[in-house]
Homo-oligomer: A and B are copies of this chain.
Amino acid sequence: MSKVESAQHGSNITAPTELVETRLEKYAYRRLGLGRATAPPVLFLQHFTGTLDNWDPAVTDPLVGSREIILFENAGVGRSTGTVPDTVSGMAKHVLAFADAMGLTRVDLMGYSLGGMVAQVVALDRPSLVRRMILVATAPEGGEDIMHLEKPELRRILEDPKLTGYGRLVGLFFTGSESSQAAGRAFAARLQARQGDREPISGPQVAGAQIAAFRAWERIEGERFAKLRRMEQPCLVVNGVLDTMIPVRNSYWLGEHLPNAMLLTYPDAGHGCLFQYHESFVRQTNLFLE
Contact = CB atoms under 8 A, between A and B. Distances in A.
Contact of A241 (B241, B256, B264, B265): B256
Interface in A241-283: 241, 248, 252, 255-256, 258-268, 280, 283
A259 B264 contact: no
Contact of A267 (B259, B264, B267, B283): B259
Given A241-B255, A248-B256, A252-B252, A265 B267 contact: no
Contacts of A262: 264-267, 280
Interface in A206-260: 241, 248, 252, 255-256, 258-260
Interface in A133-181: none
Given A252-B252, A262-B264, A263-B263, 17 more contacts: A241-B255, A241-B256, A241-B263, A248-B252, A248-B256, A255-B265, A259-B267, A259-B268, A260-B267, A260-B268, A261-B267, A262-B265, A262-B266, A262-B267, A263-B264, A263-B265, A264-B264
Contacts of A252: 248, 252
Contacts of A264: 262-264
A118 B268 CA distance: 25
Main secondary structure of the interface of A (DSSP, over half): mixed
A128 to B, nearest CB: 21
A16 to B, nearest CB: 35
A72 to B, nearest CB: 27
A280 B261 CA distance: 13
A287 interface: yes
A255 B267 contact: yes
Contacts of A248: 252, 256
Contacts of A255: 241, 265, 267
Contacts of A261: 267
A235 to B, nearest CB: 8
A263 to B, nearest CB: 4
A48 to B, nearest CB: 24
Contacts of A259: 267-268
> Which A-B residue pairs are the 10 nearest by beta carbons?
A263-B265, A241-B256, A255-B265, A260-B267, A261-B267, A241-B255, A264-B264, A252-B252, A262-B266, A259-B267
